[in-house]
Structure 1
Amino acid sequence: MVKVNRARSTAPPDGGWGWMIVLGCFLVTICTRAVTRCISIFFVEFQTYFIQDYAQTAWIHSIVDCMTMLCGLGFALCYSPAIAMVGKYFSRRKALAYGIAMSGSGIGTFVLAPVVQLLIEQFSWRGALLILGGFVLNLCVCGALMRPITLKEDHTTPEQNHVCRTQTRDFKRVSPCSTLTNEWVQTCLCCSLQQEYSFLLMSDFVVLAVSVLFMAYGCSPLFVYLVPYALSVGVSHQQAAFLMSILGVIDIIGNITFGWLTDRRCLKNYRYVCYLFAVGLDGLCYLCLPMLQSLPLLVPFSCTFGYFDGAYVTLIPVVTAEVVGTTSLSSALGVVYFLHAVPYLVSPPIAGWLVDATGSYTAAFLLCGFSMIFSSVLLGFARLVKKMRKTQLRFLAKESDPKLQLWTNGSVAYSVARELDQKDGESAAIAAPGYNPT
């Protein structure tokens, strides 16, 4: 008889098999995000072959990105779970682990961009896509590296879960097909879903979700239009692919260095601010892009944009974990990446429509830049308001009662010390001689 060893509840190991999880996530990002980014190299080929304008051709890339973030289809079944697994295995070195794992996107772009251009020249765009498809099959190897882990915080209410399971089993034993049993099972399911997705009612998460919509709108079009824009200002095909390689390799540096820096004690409490800083600077890079019309000017742009793109991509899971906690990280990340879907779907075609309508890339790049800057400003403003409210509550607490211990849950504040003093007074009165309850 074979014994099945169940995973024991534990703390994040911050190492061990966790590094294999990081390796698996690293390979997943190469096979998903890097391959998706390289679709921009096919852009001109698609446009020429199908004789379509910018807006129509952009749908190819936007649908790929949208379906990755929106469904349980294709890349989506690999990307989000792999990222969530890294968060399960790391706590103290979480930012560094995410930096290494997410650097696969940059490394893959650096290597694949010139290779894809060479494949297109040798085998046409059809043959290049077939070869890329064979490469993506390595996702099966990545999945074999994933090993589930059960954390202590995953069992915050074990008694409730045990009672629910026991009572459901008792109901089924009495009458498996009764209406009461079905209603009880549905109630338990609703309770479990309510606990799993309770973060959706958190104001901090709502603000983060809205900001992600604007950030995702801004970040996507560059990977579609960088190569066509470079070609439009006189850069050769090989040099345009080289710009994508530069963006990819600097993206790696941004992933790892920003992950390492934000794990340091001096910056560990400022990861949120670092995320805002990185998103805002990418927005500023967009605003400068229409003025850069030669290869020597586009190379520094690729370096700057690539570095801060790698930085904020690394910090998205970290910031999400700070907002919702480790227990709900997997579900929250699913929601965050789901929110990328709609902007990823509409932003490249909208940018293409602007290029077709204006005959220039300026309007498209400016719209993307302001979108990312607004995302950063929105989060920064929300953070500032939250700090001001906390400071005001502390000040009111000190003014009203020096012994007041303030417990806050959003805007609710109450005094535990005052309640304890009242109970002590009642106990003393009862114990006093001659006490008369009437």
Structure 2
Amino acid sequence: MSSVRAHGDIDGSKAWFRLAIATLIASIGNVGMWSYSIVLPAVQQDFGLTRGDASVPYTVTMLCFAAGAIFMGRLADRYNITLPVAIAAGALGLGFALCATLRNFPLFIICHGVFLGFFGVSALFAPLMADISHWFERRRGVAVTVCAAGNYIAGAVWSPVLQRLIEHVGWREAYLIVGIICVVTILPLTWFLRGRTPTTHSQRAAAATPQGVSGFSPNALQGLICIAGVACCVAMSMPQVHIVAYCGDLGYGPAAGADMLALMLIFGMVSRVASGFVADRVGGLVTLLIGSVAQGAALLLYFLFDGLTSLYVISALFGLFQGGIVPSYALIIREYFPAQQAATRVAIAVSATIVGMALGGWLSGLIFDATGSYRAAFANGIAWNLLNVSLALWLLMPKWRTAT
């Protein structure tokens, strides 16, 4: 797939320009991940569904996103990131257009999952982060988290835009407009991602092994990272997936919920970039632990307070606390696994987090239907978050014992 290039490409101007393009693409295309959180109330009303049933398209899309990320990661490892990104651009355009026209809910679910999830946003998160990680060495943590922040930029920008479009033209027309924008912007930008992956002279990333650091075999470490990813994102999904519907149920209106989601993601962008600086100093595992503990604190605040002003403040804190969690998995993979496996292994790890988002989004809707309230759903998120914190501590203990 790649050839050895000049060491000057690493951390150089080409790398930073590539990071800017990748972040821009992610900021546009990851609307496919956040769009359903905004249209959920409108879709529920349009199709006459319960909250649990209306959450199914999100769950299916996230599961397809997870599977597609591994497929797209393999494509990126074998060829180049340009091919997966070009496929994603076409799939997003087609998927949004088809979803806008379908009147059959099962077909809507399939279309949303296959086109927006498997072939769409799957290429615009983990594979992009893995690609960028090859172009940086000294500032890898910052670069990966900036690229990952594109996902939150998408949520922060698209959430209020999509909500206003829904209010003015309806959710179906809004989906059609978004699909057109994705195609006409992302496809031309893929041209700037051409070029082979640079390789460092030291090859430290390729030589790194997980056993020397954590005491776990590669497959065991990958498995534990995946379990932690599921747990953290079941917890994370409750506010991110249901905040719009939650605000509607409390009488604040879906527009307030969309604004809270945007606020959450704006502060998440700040957190993601800041976590990159932290990770460059202390490593991915410690960064994961810090973010997980902070996320649990924010979920507890959601459980305790539900006033309008309180929810705005807590949403900002939630974004600030948890933004660096998912990128930390990519950094852990790059620290402890060979560079040649980066896109595939990062995709597997990030896919686990997506499965967690899918499972958490569905569980929260199910719990709401069973209890008539989101209070138990927040408690469920806190419990899953405790599991993630426990796993992060377990993975760090061998390293701490070695240090002492």
Identify the TM-score tier after normalising by the shorter chain.
Answer: 0.7 to 0.9
Counterpart position of 2:213? none
The answer to whether the 8 A contact 1:21-1:85 is kept is no
SS of match in other structure, 1:220: helix
Cα 1:111–1:339 change in 2 (3 A) is closer
Cα 1:113–1:23 change in 2 (3 A) is same
Query: Which residues of structure 1 form unaligned runs of 5+?
Result: 1-5, 158-198, 393-438
The answer to whether the 8 A contact 1:86-1:98 is kept is yes
**Number of positions where the alignment pairs a residue of Structure 1 with one of Structure 2:** 341
Per-residue displacement from partner, 1:369-400 (whole Å, max 9, x unpaired)? 22122112212123214543x479xxxxxxxx
The question of 1:249 aligning with 2:257 is answered no
Q: How many angstroms does 1:270 deviate by?
A: 4.4
1:277 alignment partner, one of 290, 304, 313 = 290
SS of match in other structure, 2:360: helix
Residue 350 of structure 2 aligns with an amino acid whose one-letter code is Y
Within-5 A mapping of 1:70-89? 70-71=67-68, 72=71, 73-89=119-135
Counterpart position of 1:67? 64
Partner Cα separation in structure 1 for residue 206 and residue 292 of structure 2:
35
Q: How many angstroms does 1:356 deviate by?
A: 0.5
Q: How many angstroms does 1:322 deviate by?
A: 1.4
The answer to whether the 8 A contact 1:289-1:301 is kept is yes
Within-5 A mapping of 1:199-238? 201-238=218-255
Partner Cα separation in structure 1 for residue 234 and residue 340 of structure 2:
28
The question of 1:151 aligning with 2:199 is answered yes
If you compute each CA radius of gyration, which structure gives the higher value, 1 or 2? 1
Partner Cα separation in structure 2 for residue 240 and residue 206 of structure 1:
35
Counterpart position of 2:310? 297
**TM-score, structure 2 length as denominator?**
0.77
Counterpart position of 2:99? none
Counterpart position of 2:145? 99
Cα 1:7–1:225 change in 2 (3 A) is same
Q: How many angstroms does 1:248 deviate by?
A: 1.8
The answer to whether the 8 A contact 1:47-1:53 is kept is yes
Per-residue displacement from partner, 1:241-287 (whole Å, max 9, x unpaired)? 21112112111111222223443xxxx13442122110222123223
1:288 alignment partner, one of 301, 318, 323 = 301
Query: Which residues of structure 2 form unaligned runs of 5+?
Result: 72-118, 208-215
Residue 11 of structure 2 aligns with an amino acid whose one-letter code is D
Cα 1:341–1:113 change in 2 (3 A) is closer
SS of match in other structure, 1:245: helix
The answer to whether the 8 A contact 1:243-1:299 is kept is yes
**TM-score, structure 1 length as denominator?**
0.72
Cα 1:59–1:142 change in 2 (3 A) is farther
Partner Cα separation in structure 1 for residue 255 and residue 351 of structure 2:
34
The question of 1:43 aligning with 2:40 is answered yes
SS of match in other structure, 2:373: coil
Cα 1:31–1:92 change in 2 (3 A) is same
CA RMSD of aligned residues (A): 2.5
Partner Cα separation in structure 2 for residue 233 and residue 128 of structure 1:
25
1:363 alignment partner, one of 376, 387, 391 = 376
Q: How many angstroms does 1:367 deviate by?
A: 1.0
Q: How many angstroms does 1:216 deviate by?
A: 2.5
Counterpart position of 1:416? none
Share of identical aligned residues, percent?
19
Residue 235 of structure 2 aligns with an amino acid whose one-letter code is G
Higher normalized helix content (fraction of residues)? 2
Residue 76 of structure 1 aligns with an amino acid whose one-letter code is S
Counterpart position of 1:8? 4
Within-5 A mapping of 1:109-124? 109-124=155-170
The answer to whether the 8 A contact 1:351-1:364 is kept is yes
The question of 1:309 aligning with 2:309 is answered no
Cα 1:25–1:374 change in 2 (3 A) is same
Q: How many angstroms does 1:21 deviate by?
A: 2.0
Runs of at least 4 residues of structure 1 off by over 6 A?
154-157
Partner Cα separation in structure 1 for residue 357 and residue 332 of structure 2:
21
The answer to whether the 8 A contact 2:206-2:337 is kept is no
The answer to whether the 8 A contact 1:28-1:79 is kept is no
Residue 319 of structure 2 aligns with an amino acid whose one-letter code is G
Per-residue displacement from partner, 1:148-175 (whole Å, max 9, x unpaired)? 2141539979xxxxxxxxxxxxxxxxxx
Residue 223 of structure 1 aligns with an amino acid whose one-letter code is Q
The answer to whether the 8 A contact 2:260-2:312 is kept is yes
Residue 347 of structure 1 aligns with an amino acid whose one-letter code is G
The answer to whether the 8 A contact 1:289-1:365 is kept is yes
Partner Cα separation in structure 2 for residue 283 and residue 155 of structure 1:
32
The answer to whether the 8 A contact 1:34-1:106 is kept is no
Residue 243 of structure 1 aligns with an amino acid whose one-letter code is M
Cα 1:373–1:142 change in 2 (3 A) is farther
The answer to whether the 8 A contact 1:283-1:373 is kept is yes
The answer to whether the 8 A contact 1:285-1:369 is kept is no
The answer to whether the 8 A contact 1:262-1:270 is kept is yes
Residue 187 of structure 2 aligns with an amino acid whose one-letter code is C
Cα 1:126–1:225 change in 2 (3 A) is same
Partner Cα separation in structure 1 for residue 129 and residue 269 of structure 2:
16
